[in-house]
Amino acid sequence: DVQLQASGGGVVQAGESLRLSCVVSGFTLDEDKEYGIGWYRQAPGKEREGIACFSTSDVDTYYSESVKGRFTISSDNAKNTVYLQMNGLKPEDTAVYYCGLGYSDYGEETCIYESAVSYWGVGTLVTVSS
């Protein structure tokens, strides 16, 4: 079974940084394989949104406008882990953060369409206080 486990959430003050980790099991992250993977979040009372995604078939990494320039997605295939470095956190970044894995050829598609995600991880809560 493919499983994703997100961790690294917590309570921080505005302006601080956090790094989230998503450990993947049952699927080997390898740039020679075709898959899309990314980070998503769901704030209280809002729908889940894709914020940072890439596909091994796509040269571009997608970031939503709300996080562009502040968040960075990266992958350590040796550890089968995907990270989300979050800098300059704002209270509006408060949400449950999830990682998702699918088979889209495009990072943007992986983020925009939930149907592009085949596997969801358990979320981790990030709370940013003002």
Mean pLDDT of all residues belonging to the chain? 96
Distance separating alpha carbons of residues 103 and 101, to the nearest angstrom = 7
> pLDDT digit string (tens) for 115-129?
999 999 999 999 999
> pLDDT digit string (tens) for 9-56?
999 999 999 999 999 999 999 989 999 999 999 999 999 999 999 999
Q: Which residue in 103, 85, 93 sits closest to 49, CA to CA?
A: 93
Distance separating alpha carbons of residues 112 and 114, to the nearest angstrom = 7
> pLDDT digit string (tens) for 79-106?
999 999 999 999 999 999 999 999 999 9
**Kind plus residue range of the DSSP H or E element containing 110:** helix 107-112
Q: What is the pLDDT of residue 9?
A: 98
Distance separating alpha carbons of residues 14 and 89, to the nearest angstrom = 5
